[in-house]
Amino acid sequence: MNQSGFNCGGCGHGSQPVLVSYPYVRGASFQCDCCQQMYQPNTAKYPASGSMQENAFMVVNNIPYLVDNTTTKYGTKLSVSENVYTRISKRSDPSCINLTASLDMTGGDIVTNAVWNGFLNQVISNEFETLENYLPIQHSSVIFKLYFHLEDAQGGVVYENTVESIVKDHLFHYTDVNDFFITSFKNVIVTNLPQVDYNGIYTIFIDKMEAYVDILDTLTHVVDDLNPYYIWMNNNTHISVQHDAIDIADNRILIAAVNINQRFAVQLNLTTRLKMNFTAYMANTIATGNTFDVYNSLYHPTEHLIEELARDVTILTTAVSDLQARVAALENQIITMKPRVKEYAKNTEYTKGDLVYNEIGYVYQVSATYTSTDDESVTVDEAFEADVAIGKLVQLSSTQPIDETNEDGGE
């Protein structure tokens, strides 16, 4: 009989199964010394510790960012309805105003990670001319900014201020909603309230919390196409972020905010310390296990290129049609303006403006529309000279005939 009381797949060896270790895979199995027949589909389904393996992205104001998630770790699986809410409670503490806060900064909408990835690729494709093949980077640290103010018994504002708290590490959580992920940030905000007019009861209002990140505009810092901030790896299916190289902050952007609007009655002393332990939840981080689609959107945006080619073809087609019309008009104009030069002959109708010649090198223009003589008793030369004599033909050129004789007078 199995002394451990555990039957390993019916083999009778009684070996204790061992869970697989990180990194976890969906449907992780028990490992057993004696057999491989045991399978527990609900065990270790979601990672709950260790560094985040996927690449992280975020879209803010229609700008795609690569997130430096080097310091991001997996957290335990969360229930959205039970864990993600906004609430502040005040603890009894004679030494300070001691608050504990849970802040829902997700925006309230549940957008699955697959939808986020599709949106990310579309934004990158649309902005690829502006990005020029480089993604801006968000720093790993998040700056939280708390807004609060004090009011006296009459509702007058006696003091207002903001205080910042920097969270360098945060967690990435699977949730009970399929393909919906949450990031959580924990820290403590501490500040001192100054002396007020009288030592009485005041009301402190916690107005809102905002979250900011510093960004690096990669394009402006790349020299000779050398990117020291991240590298495409494994046939462009993963991005290796160089955490230590990202030490430049070109700008600071707002990534989340929540209006709190909670108040507490407080007794102020000469100086009073405000302390708030907070946990903030966001849902705007996009996890991408395979970045090949991101690479294609950044370097080879097929849809955009097709649209651009179609637009160029339309422009070129219009230009060609316009050129063809212009060429046809010019040809017609040339035909209309082209003088009709012909050799003089008898019994021939000539139109005013026609050019004729009887001898090479001498050109005459018809001065009036007429028909040359058909008298058989005169030669062509005689008829020509007669028309010139009466002014029907006017000489235009006095070019002398080419002398085709040799220098010694011979032919």
d(CA 138, CA 216): 6
* Claim to verify: residue 255 and residue 387 sit in the same structural domain: no
- Give the range of the structural domain holding residue 111, as residue numbers without chain letter: 55-300
* Claim to verify: residue 243 and residue 275 sit in the same structural domain: yes
| Structure token digits, residue 396 | 């235009």
d(CA 109, CA 116): 12
Query: What is the rounded average pLDDT for all residues in the chain?
Result: 84
Residue 80 lies in a domain: yes
User: Into how many domains does the chain fold?
Assistant: 4
* Claim to verify: residue 160 and residue 76 sit in the same structural domain: yes
* Claim to verify: residue 109 and residue 187 sit in the same structural domain: yes
- Whether the per-residue pLDDT at 37 is higher than 50: the answer is no
Digit-coded pLDDT (tens) for 96-126: 899 999 999 998 889 999 999 999 999 998 8
- Whether the per-residue pLDDT at 20 is higher than 70: the answer is no
Query: Picking from 151-165, 210-224, 327-341, 363-377, which range would have the lowest pLDDT averaged per residue?
Result: 327-341
- Report yes or no on whether pTM surpasses 0.75: no
Residue 406 lies in a domain: no
Digit-coded pLDDT (tens) for 184-218: 999 999 999 888 877 778 999 999 999 999 999 99
Residue 11 lies in a domain: yes
- The DSSP code for 235 is T
* Claim to verify: residue 231 and residue 308 sit in the same structural domain: no
Q: How confident is the model at residue 274 (pLDDT cuts 50, 70, 90)?
A: very high
Residues 6 or more apart in contact with residue 259 via CB below 8 angstroms: 207, 208
219-225 long-range contacts (CB < 8 A, ≥24 apart) are 219/131, 219/132, 219/134, 219/136, 220/250, 221/248, 222/134
Residue 400 lies in a domain: no
Q: How confident is the model at residue 330 (pLDDT cuts 50, 70, 90)?
A: confident
* Claim to verify: residue 139 and residue 285 sit in the same structural domain: yes
Residue 66 lies in a domain: yes
At position 348, the amino acid (one-letter code) is T
